[in-house]
Chain A
Amino acid sequence: MQERTLCAMHFPANPIAHEVRSYRSCRVETMLKIENLHARVEGKEILKGLSLEVNAGEVHAIMGPNGAGKSTLGNVLSGREGYEVTAGTVTYNGIDLLTLAPEARAAAGVFLAFQYPVEIPGVNNTYFLRAALNAQRKVRGEKELDSMQFLKLVREKLKVMQISDELLHRAVNEGFSGGEKKRNEIFQMAVLEPQLAILDETDSGLDIDALKQVAQGVNTLRSPQRAFLMITHYQRLLDYVVPDFVHVLADGRIVESGDKSLALKLEEHGYAGIGASHPAGAVA
Chain B
Amino acid sequence: MNEIMNKQSSSAATLRDNADVAEALGRTYSAGFITKIEMTGLPPGLDESTVRAISAIKHEPEWMTEWRLDAYRHWLTMPKPDWAKLNIDPIDYQAISYYAAPKVAPKSLDEVDPALLETYEKLGIPLHERAALAGVAVDAVFDSVSVGTTFRKQLAEAGVLFCSMSEAIREYPDIVRKYLGSVVPTGDNFFAALNSAVFSDGSFVFIPKGVRCPMELSTYFRINAQNTGQFERTLIVAEEGAHVSYLEGCTAPKRDENQLHAAVVELVALEKAQIKYSTVQNWYPGDENGVGGIYNFVTKRGDCRGDDSKISWTQVETGSAITWKYPSVVLRGDRSVGEFYSVALTHHFQQADTGTKMIHLGKYTKSKIVSKGISAGRSSNSYRGLVKMEKGAEGARNYTQCDSLLIGKKCGAHTFPYMEVKNPTAIVEHEATTSKISDDQMFYCRARGIPEEDAVSMIVDGFCKQVFRELPMEFAVEAKKLLEVSLEGAVG
Q: Do chains A and B touch in the complex (CB under 8 A)?
A: yes
- Point out residues on A near B: beta carbons under 8 Å: 78-81, 101-103, 105-107, 111-112, 114, 117-118, 120-123, 127-129, 131-133, 135-136, 139, 171, 188, 192
Not counting A79-B447, A122-B463, a sample of 14 additional A-B residue pairs whose C-beta atoms are within 8 angstroms of each other reads: A78-B447, A101-B452, A103-B448, A106-B449, A106-B450, A112-B447, A114-B447, A117-B444, A118-B438, A118-B440, A120-B459, A122-B461, A131-B458, A132-B449
Q: Is the interface of B mostly helix, strand, loop or mixed?
A: helix
Residue of B nearest to A137 (CB): B449
Answer yes or no: B172 CB below 8 A from chain A CBs.
Answer: no
Contact, CB under 8 Å: B449 / A139: yes
Q: How far, in angstroms, from A21 to B313 measured CA to CA in the complex? A: 49
Q: Taking A123-B461, A171-B462 as contacts, is the C-beta distance between A192 and B449 under 8 angstroms? A: yes
> What CA separation (Å) do A102 and B447 show in the bound complex?
5
Bound Cα distance from A107 to B447, whole angstroms: 9
Chain A hits for B454, CB < 8 A: 131, 135
Q: Tell me, yes or no, whether B464 is within 8 Å of chain A by CB.
A: yes
Interface assignment of B59: CB less than 8 Å from any CB of chain A: no
How far apart sit A102 and B458, CA to CA, in the bound complex (Å)?
Answer: 17
Give B440-482 interface residues, CB cut-off 8 Å to A: 440-441, 443-452, 454, 458-459, 461-466
Nearest-neighbour CB distance to chain A for B484, whole angstroms, equals 12
By the criterion CB–CB under 8 Å, are B446 and A102 in contact?
Answer: yes
Residues of B within 8 A of A103 (CB): 445-452
Inter-chain contacts of A102 with B (CB < 8 A): 443, 446-447
Nearest-CB distance from B82 to chain A (Å)? Answer: 37
Interface contact A106-B447, CB-CB below 8 Å:
yes
In the assembled complex, B439 has its CB within 8 A of some CB on chain A: yes
Contacts of B462 in A (CB 8 A): 120-123, 171
What separation, in Å, do the CA atoms of A159 and B476 have in the docked complex?
33
**A258–B269 Cα gap in the complex (Å)?**
78
Listed residue (A78, A122, A131, A139) with the most chain B CB atoms within 10 angstroms of its CB = A122
Chain B residues with CB under 8 Å of chain A are 438-441, 443-452, 454, 458-459, 461-466
Q: Could you tell me the distance in whole angstroms from the C-beta of B439 to the nearest C-beta in chain A?
A: 7
Which of chain A's residues has its CB closest to B437's CB? Answer: A120
Tell me how far the C-beta of B57 lies from the nearest C-beta in chain A, rounded to whole angstroms: 49
Closest to A104 in B: B449
Q: Please name the residue on chain B nearest to A20 by beta carbon.
A: B449
Q: Across the interface, do B459 and A123 meet the contact criterion of CB distance under 8 Å?
A: yes
Choice from A106, A122, A171 contacting B448 with Cβ under 8 Å = A106
Which of A111, A131, A171 touches B450 (beta carbons < 8 Å)? A131
How far is it, in angstroms, between the C-alpha of A112 and the C-alpha of B449 when the chains are bound? 11
* Closest-CB distance, B457 to chain A (whole angstroms): 10
Task: Report yes or no: A80 in contact with B450, Cβ–Cβ below 8 A.
Answer: no
Q: Which residues of A contact B464 (CB under 8 A)?
A: 122
Q: Which residues of the other chain, A, contact B459 by a CB distance below 8 angstroms?
A: 120, 123
Partner of A123, one of B443, B447, B449, B458: B458
Compute how far the CA of A106 lies from the CA of B445 in the bound complex, rounded to whole angstroms. Answer: 10
Nearest B residue to A75 by beta-carbon distance?
Answer: B443
14 chain-A/chain-B pairs, Cβ below 8 angstroms: A102-B447, A103-B449, A106-B446, A106-B448, A118-B440, A118-B444, A120-B459, A122-B462, A122-B463, A122-B465, A123-B459, A131-B454, A132-B449, A135-B451
* A101, B441: Cα distance in complex, Å: 15
Report chain A residues within 8 Å CB of B438: 118
The 9 closest A-B CB pairs, nearest first, are A122-B462, A106-B449, A123-B462, A102-B446, A136-B449, A132-B448, A122-B465, A118-B444, A103-B446
A107 near B444 (CB under 8 angstroms)? no
Out of B443, B448, B466, which one reaches A192, CB within 8 Å?
B448
Complex Cα gap A129–B443 (Å):
15
Q: How far is the CA of A222 from the CA of B215 in the complex (A)?
A: 55
